[in-house]
Chains A and B, each alone.
Chain A
Amino acid sequence: MSLDKDTVRNIANLARLEVREDELDHLAGELSNILQFVEQLAEVDTDGVAPMTSVAHMELRRRVDEVTDGNYPEKVLANAPERIDGFFVVPKVVE
C-alpha cells in the first residue's frame, strides 16, 4: 500500500495533528515504507485464528458502583493550561 498526500492529510486530520503542506510528501513516503514492511503479514495463514486482544487470561474485574474517589477539584485542575471558576476553559465551540 502506497499512501498519497491526500490520505496522509486525512489521517493527520483524524489524529488531530497539524501537518504542514510541505511535509506531506516526505511523510507519505515514510509511512508507505512502513506499511510495505508490515504487509509481510499477509503471507501468514491466520484462518481460524482468534485475534489476541490481551495476553492476560482474565475476566474484567468489577466493583460495586459507588463513589470511592473525588472531591479534590484543585488537584484535578492543577495542571490545566487555562481555568476559570473551577472549570477547564476551551475555545468557543458553540456559535
Chain B
Amino acid sequence: MSELTKLTMAEAREGLKAKRFTAVELANAHLAAMAAAKGLNAFVTETPDLALERARQSDERLAKGEAGAMEGLPIGMKDLFCTEGVRSTASSRILENFVPQYESTVSGKLKAAGAVVLGKTALDEFAMGSSNMTSAFGPVINPWRRTSDPSVQLVPGGSSGGSAAAVAARLVMGATGTDTGGSIRQPASFCGLVGIKPTYGRCSRWGIVAFASSLDQAGPMTRTVRDAALMLGSMVGFDPKDSTSADVAVPDFEAALTGDIRGLKVGIPKEYRPDGLSAEISKLWEDGVAMLKDAGATPVEISLPHTKYALATYYIVAPAECSSNLARYDGVRYGMRVEGKTLDEMYAKTRAAGFGAEVRRRILIGTYVLSAGYYDAYYIKAQKVRRLIADDFAKAFQTVDVILTPTAPSAAFGLGETDDNPITMWLNDVFTIPTSMAGLPGLSLPTGLSSDGLPLGLQLIGRPFDEETVLKVAEVMERAAGFTAVPAGM
C-alpha cells in the first residue's frame, strides 16, 4: 500500500500543485493497487493505458498552470456512464460488447476537469439491486470484513457497489455512482464512504444508461465530505441535452463547508424508527443527533406520514419506467442479438438471453402495471402516493433546514446471507427511497462501526438544490464522529 493511495482528493490536489509528486506517479500508485485487488471484482473494464496517457496530459497542464478542479486525481467511472471508445456494459450481458461512440455529459465534465479515469466499475445489472449480486460479471467483494469472522465475504451494497469497493479499497480516490432508490447512499454506508445523490436535475442524465428516468441521478462517492463537495462541483450543471436538467446556478460546494451550523433546525422523522429497527442503528442515530446538538443545531421531531408507502410506490414507478426504458434493447441497433425466425422471435430470444433474473422480474412487473386495465389501479395510484410522499417533505422543510435519518437498516451482509424473496433485498433501501421519490438531495456519511467492526452510515436530506446545507452539516458531523476506521490491510 503506497502512501499516495491514502491521500484524500483535497490533499492530492495540494500535493500536485506543490510538485511533491506527479499525476503519473499518483496514477501508477493507484493502478498498482488496482492490479493487486482484482479479487474484489470492482471493475468491469480496467483502462490503465488510457489512464497513464491522461495523467501525462494532466502533468503538462499542471506544469503550464492550467490545472482543472480535479486535475490528475484518479477516479473510477460506474459502468453505467457511456464513455467514448471504452466498453460500457451496465453490467449486463446484453451490452457486453457495447462501445459508445459518444461521452456522457457527467463523465465528459469530469474529464474536462482533469480527472483521470482508471476504469469502469461494476454495478448491479442496469443498476437494479442493492448488493451487486445481480451483475452479469460476478459479485463485487466489500473490502471490509467482520471482526468476528473475517473469512466471510460481504457485499459492498448496490447498485454502485464496484465504485464503493474501489474507493474503500484505495484503488481510486473517488468514483461516480448513480442513485435511483439508494444506489449511491446504501453502498456508501456499507463501505464506510461519503456518497451524495444530488437534487434531481442537478446532474445531466445524458449518456447515462437509463433505468427509471424520473428518479435517476448521478453523484460522487468519496472518502471525505470535502472530496464529495470537490467532485460534485465537477459533475453538475445545466445540460440542454437532458430535458429535466435544471437551469440553476452552480454553487461553490467547498465554500459551503464553513463548519458553522449553529441555529440550524434538524428534522428527526419519527417514521424512520420502525418496530424492529436494530438497537445498533438506533444508537448510531441518537449519537448523530447528539453531535448536531453539540455543534449548536436544534433537533426537531417531525412526521413524514407516508414514509411506509414509499417502498411499494417505488416498486411500481421504477419497474414501470424500467420496462419502458429497456424496450430499446431489441438486438437491432446495438448490443446482443440472438437470431430468430421472425422479428418478434428475435426480440424475445435476444432479451431472454441478455437480461438477468432481477431485470426480467422488473420488466415484467412494469409491463403489467402499465398494461390496459391496470394502469390506473397501479401506476396512476403510485404517482398519486408519490406526490403525498413529496408533500410530506415539503411540509417538513417549512420548519426544518435538514433531516437526519439512518441510511440503511443494517451493516453489509454476506454474499450468501440473502433469501429468495426479492422484497427482502428491496428493504435495504427503505430509508433512501422516500428521498428519491421526492427528488431531494441525500447524503450518506459513516459515523460509526457495528459491534462486528463494519461501517454504518447516517443520511442527511436537504431542500431541493440545497446540497450546500447538506454538505455543511455532513462536514460538521464528520469531524465530530472522527470516523478513521479503514478496511483491514489498508
Contact = CB atoms under 8 A, between A and B. Distances in A.
Contact of A91 (B341, B355, B383): B341
Interface string B7-44: 00000000000000000000000000000000000000
Contacts of A79: 97-99, 101, 333-335
B53 interface: no
For chain B, which range describes its interface: under 10, 10 to 19, 20 to 34, or 35 or more residues? 35 or more
A11 B368 CA distance: 6
A1 to B, nearest CB: 8
Contacts of A34: 315, 361, 365, 422-423
Given A27-B364, A60-B243, A33 B378 contact: no
A64 interface: no
Contact of B390 (A12, A52, A58): A52
A81 interface: yes
B237 interface: no
A17 B421 contact: no
Interface in A48-95: 49-56, 58, 60-61, 63, 72, 75-76, 78-82, 88, 90-91, 93
Contacts of A55: 200-201, 214, 390, 437-439, 464
Nearest to A50: B387
Interface string B323-350: 1000100111111110111111111110
A22 to B, nearest CB: 14
A51 B384 contact: yes
B216 to A, nearest CB: 12
The prevalent SS among residues of B at the interface is helix
A19 B352 contact: yes
A52 B364 contact: no
B332 A52 contact: no
Contact of B383 (A33, A51, A58): A51
A84 to B, nearest CB: 13
Nearest to A62: B243
B189 interface: no
Contacts of A18: 345, 348-349, 351-352
Contact of A33 (B313, B367, B423): B423
Contacts of A15: 323, 351, 363-364, 367
The prevalent SS among residues of A at the interface is loop
A11 to B, nearest CB: 5
B264 interface: no
For chain A, which range describes its interface: under 10, 10 to 19, 20 to 34, or 35 or more residues? 35 or more
A52 B101 contact: no
Given A38-B312, A46-B384, A81-B335, A17 B355 contact: yes
A41 B200 contact: no
Contact of A80 (B333, B385, B437): B333
Contacts of A91: 339-343, 345-346
B354 to A, nearest CB: 10
A88 B331 CA distance: 10
A3 B346 CA distance: 26
Contacts of B342: 91, 93
Given A40-B312, A60-B243, A79-B333, A11 B387 contact: no
A51 B385 CA distance: 8
Given A33-B423, A91-B342, A17 B364 contact: yes
B316 interface: yes
Given A11-B364, A31-B361, A91-B342, A52 B352 contact: no
B386 interface: yes
Contacts of A81: 331-332, 334-337
Interface string A19-50: 10000000100110111011111101010011
Contacts of B246: 56, 58
A90 B333 contact: no
Nearest to A36: B423
B388 interface: yes
B382 interface: yes
Nearest first, the 5 closest Cβ-Cβ pairs linking A and B are A55-B439, A79-B334, A51-B383, A81-B337, A46-B384
Interface of A: 3, 7-8, 11-19, 27, 30-31, 33-35, 37-42, 44, 46, 49-56, 58, 60-61, 63, 72, 75-76, 78-82, 88, 90-91, 93
Given A16-B327, A18-B352, 14 more contacts: A13-B348, A34-B361, A37-B312, A38-B315, A38-B382, A49-B387, A54-B214, A55-B200, A55-B201, A61-B240, A81-B331, A81-B335, A88-B333, A91-B341
27 contacts: A7-B368, A8-B364, A12-B364, A14-B367, A15-B363, A16-B327, A19-B352, A27-B364, A31-B365, A33-B423, A40-B312, A41-B313, A41-B316, A46-B384, A49-B385, A50-B387, A53-B214, A55-B439, A56-B246, A75-B101, A79-B97, A79-B99, A79-B334, A81-B334, A91-B341, A91-B342, A91-B346
